[in-house]
Chain A
């Protein structure tokens, strides 16, 4: 049975009804019937075959394309066939084989994405994850199976997501039924935060991923000595790396920015490294790393990361539109980053790329105006809520108030508000200083309606905040003023930015070239005299 990429489409839509007909009437096995449609059965059999044979390239195509397409067509609002059914379709004797575990992961993932998972689904999914991870971690020798990177990332990402979903469910508190409360008590080990953390930590340790990253940083090759017997195999090293990102995310959700940043200590956010293998991973990692820097007020780092990733997302937009589970999530992250970037830029004016500036104006323009011109402080709250992740608390209390001031989100908001309060006088100071090259403190005090000592403190605060915002190892051009104080005189500088027209110029030239091609192309295909080329 030869498998080529043309036969692939034929395989999917074979059976009654023909190749691309999607009408219900002609296809008796269309959505609505409880039997498993033949294309679906074929898909499952092929998937099983390729996973058994470790044909990673084909597994990847089936996973990225096939699964998504079949879900959209056959299972838009109902679950995939039950694991028991699938087991008989692919003639798998062992219900605990790796294929079955992987299938169950997909089955529950689909339920979480398209339907509402019941409490039983949640518990079952958790046990399935435990089985999957003990398959990897409990082995004496590295496992033979190979899986595409995207699939490995999706597993880790979904694992953290389902934990998040579970905590949010538990925060319903009094809205839960008695039956649900009883079930939770019975299965108290399901989705425990320590279990989730433990799994992620063990995956990173098994693969020695930190040692590998350290070696990469130092420019050394990754040998078995560095990576260990397990880490040298891609399935372990990639899972280990993705678990690092998973931990970064989890720590941010718990408000522990110290541990979050320690996870990515050795990760470089450059384009050519491990993260870039899976775009969704890159976006998630940049978002959470930038958020951690944001909360500890190192805005230059946030701006550097977000600018870079937003530019990348703009350029690769068309690839995400129709694929994968995460298309919606990626758009959301885009908007979140823009909101946080808008805040960070008011605290730390740096030169932003034109494309990013345009996006901010589009999505958050009105709010930014209110910030800068009306000095409306409530806008900070709005932007923060738009941009922040869904914080969690590790242990859900008896009477949780997830959205109250003392819930996880409220607590982080308090930390952020403290910073807003500390920065309150700085924009006004900045706008006055911008007007002068030198100004005596007494004059500035009159403008600001403060006494001289207060002004002196304010000037120091400006410098202090600016120095913190500069962050670690950031190489960015600042748009901010700089000054020093000589007894009672302030001397101010201003950085002049020459007009950057280069980018725009190149864009327009390329557009013109494209238009020319189009015109010439259509002229060539029309009948009549050919233009001299």
Chain B
């Protein structure tokens, strides 16, 4: 069953690629295809940034295609983009929204979730996403955010308290998920502390010495 989904995705990916060549990406008749495509991505955990952004572009160039009932498509695009953190996909999508789309209550909610993630307020984040179904129905959302948390942890921590770490990673169904995560990120768990990685070289005293390229100095070296 999994192979079928992948094969189907690849087929849709290719169709999307060819239909977005040059100006044909603005062809409004293809909108339904892109919408089916993103529904497929949401349901099976795949991602095609170009095609998803193109949905927003079509709404921007042909506003008659957009109505309140279509806002769900916009939400799907935004949530899929959020899963790509720390990459900038969400900002790219956000810059293409119209005021109508922004005013929708769920869009505002998604924006709030984005803010929590960008300011790394993870414990609050796990609470807030319980309030909306879209986060649980998007396949792979929770895993993607956990990956983002691990990336930020790696940047920041040498040793972190296990309690706090569990708060950051959010509710997990069983111990095995945590152990897999620990293995993947090469963490070392000792009692209530988790060792994330060596960080000493980050805080070495660095002195930046001035470098003068030779062509800047030659004018004054030239002797009459």
Interface residues of A (CB under 8 A from B): 193-194, 197-198, 201-202, 205, 254-258, 295-298, 351, 393-395, 397, 405-406, 410-412, 414-415, 418, 421-422, 453-454, 456-461, 463-465, 467-468, 477, 482-488, 491-503, 506, 509-510, 513
Residues 78-109 of chain B: 1 if any A CB is under 8 Å from the residue's CB, otherwise 0? 00000000101001101111110010000000
Q: How many residues of B contact A (CB 8 A)?
A: 57
**Complex contacts, B97 vs chain A, CB 8 Å:** 411
**Complex contacts, A456 vs chain B, CB 8 Å:** 164
C-alpha spacing A418/B119, complex, angstroms? 11
**Complex contacts, B121 vs chain A, CB 8 Å:** 454, 457, 461
Given A201-B22, A484-B157, check contact A457 B120 (CB 8 Å): yes
- CB atoms of A418 and B115 under 8 A apart: yes
Residue of A nearest to B97 (CB): A411
C-alpha spacing A468/B89, complex, angstroms? 12
Interface residues of B (CB under 8 A from A): 22-23, 26, 49, 53, 57, 60-63, 86, 88, 91-92, 94-99, 102, 111, 114-115, 118-123, 152-153, 155-161, 164, 167, 193, 199, 202-210, 212, 216-217, 219-220
C-alpha spacing A59/B189, complex, angstroms? 75
Min CB–CB distance A365 → chain B (angstroms): 25
Min CB–CB distance B194 → chain A (angstroms): 10
- CB atoms of A506 and B193 under 8 A apart: no
Residue of B nearest to A487 (CB): B159
- CB atoms of A484 and B96 under 8 A apart: no
> Can you list 8 residue pairs at the A/B interface with Cβ under 8 Å?
A351-B208, A406-B99, A484-B202, A487-B160, A496-B207, A496-B208, A497-B207, A510-B219
Min CB–CB distance B104 → chain A (angstroms): 13
Q: Which of B156, B207, B212 contacts A463 (CB 8 A)?
A: B156
Given A483-B202, A484-B199, check contact A295 B91 (CB 8 Å): yes
**Complex contacts, B123 vs chain A, CB 8 Å:** 453, 457
- CB atoms of A298 and B88 under 8 A apart: yes
- CB atoms of B119 and A422 under 8 A apart: yes
- CB atoms of B205 and A493 under 8 A apart: yes
- CB atoms of A482 and B60 under 8 A apart: no
- CB atoms of A460 and B219 under 8 A apart: no
- CB atoms of B88 and A468 under 8 A apart: yes
- CB atoms of B205 and A496 under 8 A apart: yes
C-alpha spacing A296/B91, complex, angstroms? 6
Residue of A nearest to B22 (CB): A201
Given A486-B159, A496-B206, check contact A296 B92 (CB 8 Å): yes
